[in-house]
Amino acid sequence: MTEELSRTSALASRHTALGSGLEDWNGMGTAWTYNTDPNDEHDAVRERAGMFDMSPLKKVKLHGADARAVLDHLTTRNLSKLAPGKAAYLCVLTEQGGIADDAIVSNNGGDEWMIVHGSGDTMALLEASAEGRDLEVQFTDDLHDLSVQGPAALEILNTNADIDLADLAYFEHAPATLFGHACRISRTGYSGERGYEIFADGSVITDIWDKLVAAGVTPCSFTALDKLRIEAGLLFYGYDMTEDNTPWEVGLGFTISKSKPEFRGKSAVMAALGSEKINNVCLDIDHSDMVEGGETLFLNGESIGLINSPSYSHRLGKSLALAHVQTGLTVGTTLSVKGEGLETTATIVASPIYDPEKSRTHS
């Protein structure tokens, strides 16, 4: 692990044993690759069950009378509608209406809430929203996040849990005991499959990992996760959305509670509705491998977009990418793709390209 990494997962030894160099993401050593084939890991998630150490995500708990009000000011959804045991995916905006981060907020019951976010500015903006309010804000890396995804995830976890996870609907969560260890299990994920995230302390997460491996769950790298999430049309902050984008431009308008009286950036983001400069799309690229990313897209000789997140899906036999293009382009439009040593074409296709009805995650 390099000196720049300020955060460490309790699962680091498990990752290095599988060949990971613990590459950086969000300040934590992360399993971007293992010594296994990411295509096999991809298959495991689609066909049975795989797991990812998502602990590089930052987990922040809020306790106190003003916890919900602070999160309501910070985020785009109306959290007064979020009952205990429910979670919501949402955006954190700048004052200018750009996306500062995306996150999941959970109502843990009582006066406890949790927000899980990535590499954007959520923490600084949360602290600004919390100034002078009655709450305690607690960020800790001791709380780990192990994501078990795939069609067999429910059966494997249910066999070893003290609650019936079949009762959890999409984006619901509950305290549980798994393999004898206290945790919170959430029916969420980033794979396009039915799956669950296990939030547990570092003192027990390695035993949970080992027992899941013994139960047949395949450890999976972030390279495999990229393949899965691009097939499923899921965005990655810093690549598919940044502060330069509004939620309307990248397909996240559904996270905006228009009737909520106030949240950071509301006036700016509402004023931007209808003035989108780009759209986020999925591309099917005429290429036999994954492109590099950063390629320019052209239509009738004019530059109209950029590839942000490329991948090659061996399961679909397609070179795919998420891209930003000018507004007004429809599914079926053919574009020219130009990059270093590459000149080909791509077609805008409906997203998600895998399980477009989202029946696997939502059923």
Listed in order, strand segments (DSSP E) in 126-274 are: 136-139, 143-149, 173-178, 181-186, 195-201, 218-219
Question: Which residue in 54, 56, 67 sits closest to 138, CA to CA?
Answer: 67
Give the pLDDT band of residue 24 (cuts 50, 70, 90).
very high
Which CATH homologous superfamily contains domain 12-55+141-231? Probable tRNA modification gtpase trme; domain 1 (3.30.1360.120)
DSSP one-letter string for 56-105:
TSEEEEEESTTHHHHHHHHBSS-GGG--TTBEEEEEEE-TTS-EEEEEEE
Least confident of 4-13, 116-125, 138-147, 227-236: 4-13
Mean pLDDT of the chain: 97
Q: Which helix (H) or strand (E) holds 320?
A: strand 318-326
Contact indicator for 90, 102 with CB cutoff of 8 Å? yes
Contact indicator for 227, 313 with CB cutoff of 8 Å? yes
Q: What pLDDT sits at residue 206?
A: 98
User: DSSP secondary-structure letter at 352?
Assistant: -
CB atoms inside a 10 Å sphere around CB 236: 18
Query: Is the pTM higher than 0.85?
Result: yes
Give the pLDDT band of residue 327 (cuts 50, 70, 90).
very high
Give CA 187 to chain center in angstroms: 13
* pLDDT surpasses 70 at 3: no
Give CA 257 to chain center in angstroms: 20
| Separation between Cα atoms, residue 217 and residue 192, nearest integer Å | 17
Which CATH homologous superfamily contains domain 277-361? Aminomethyltransferase beta-barrel domains (2.40.30.110)
The first and second tokens of residue 344, run together, are 């080909």
What are the residue ranges spanned by the domains of the chain?
A: 12-55+141-231, 277-361
Q: What pLDDT sits at residue 346?
A: 98
Q: What pLDDT sits at residue 4?
A: 57
Q: What is the mean pLDDT of residues 307-336?
A: 98
Degrees to nearest 5, angle at CA 36 with 147 and 307: 70
Q: What pLDDT sits at residue 2?
A: 38
What's the burial of 340, exposed, middle or buried (CB within 10 Å: 0-12/13-18/19+)? exposed
* pLDDT surpasses 50 at 1: no
